[in-house]
């Protein structure tokens, strides 16, 4: 059965956003009187959304900082304010991104963007990089009751486009994306670059690995 739907992860798959995420994280840490994190530290934590990233950054401090739920909520509000200022300003589409999406769309493949980044920031990044016009559907980490890798996320996407699992593939850069595809019963495609906590994406066992977006 021919492929009819491709869903794409955003950070580390379509767009390199590590620099701006690190900038927002360090603005947040500085505002809380905490030491900055390195770009490498932040990059390894990308994939689970802002809350997971900030919680893991706090755990990396020496000694680790114990925070209450109220303090964590305040820290996340700080991050939201910081990232609202920088989202899209340093983001760069990976080589061939626009051309690849245009070619896929021209042959009738339906396209969705499915990310664990909060919806408002995902939209901001897509608009800043002129990628927003390619996607008929954008799912952020706070759009649905669950986020990747829960099966319901890609199930929702398939239902929105009325496609069967065997007509669908999800493309990402991390183990989270591979698990999301597996849990929903769709093909798990991966790019060899990106973040994935600094580990080779081959360790996650995707169905196919592409070294660039044009290779799709």
Q: Which residues belong to the active site?
A: 9
In this structure, the number of other CB atoms found within 10 A of the CB of residue 208 comes to 12
Distance, CA of 105 to CA of 112 (rounded, Å) = 11
Specify whether the CB–CB gap between 161 and 4 falls below 8 A: yes
> Which segments of 133-203 are extended strands (E)?
137-139, 168-172, 187-191
SS3 of residue 203 by DSSP? helix
In DSSP notation, 53-106 reads HHHHHHHHSSSPPP--HHHHHHHHHHHHHHHHHHTTTS-EEPTTHHHHHHHHHH
């Amino acid at each position: 059965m021919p492929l009819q739907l491709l869903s794409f992860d955003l950070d580390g798959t379509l767009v390199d956003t590590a620099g701006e995420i690190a900038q927002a994280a360090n603005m947040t840490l500085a505002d809380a009187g905490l030491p900055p994190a390195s770009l490498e530290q932040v990059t390894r934590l990308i994939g689970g959304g802002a809350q997971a990233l900030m919680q893991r950054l706090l755990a990396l401090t020496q000694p680790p900082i114990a925070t209450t739920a109220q303090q964590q909520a305040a820290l996340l509000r700080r991050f939201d304010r910081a990232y609202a200022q920088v989202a899209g300003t340093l983001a760069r589409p990976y080589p061939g991104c626009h051309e690849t999406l245009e070619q896929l769309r021209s042959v009738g493949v339906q396209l969705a963007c499915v990310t664990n980044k909060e919806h408002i920031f995902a939209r901001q990044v897509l608009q800043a990089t002129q990628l927003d016009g390619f996607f008929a559907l954008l799912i952020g980490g706070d759009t649905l009751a669950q986020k990747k890798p829960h099966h319901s996320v890609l199930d929702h996407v398939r239902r929105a486009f009325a496609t069967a699992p065997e007509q669908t593939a999800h493309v990402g850069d991390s183990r989270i994306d591979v698990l999301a595809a597996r849990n929903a019963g769709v093909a798990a495609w991966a790019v060899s670059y990106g973040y994935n906590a600094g580990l080779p994406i081959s360790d996650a066992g995707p169905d196919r690995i592409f070294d660039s977006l044009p290779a799709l």
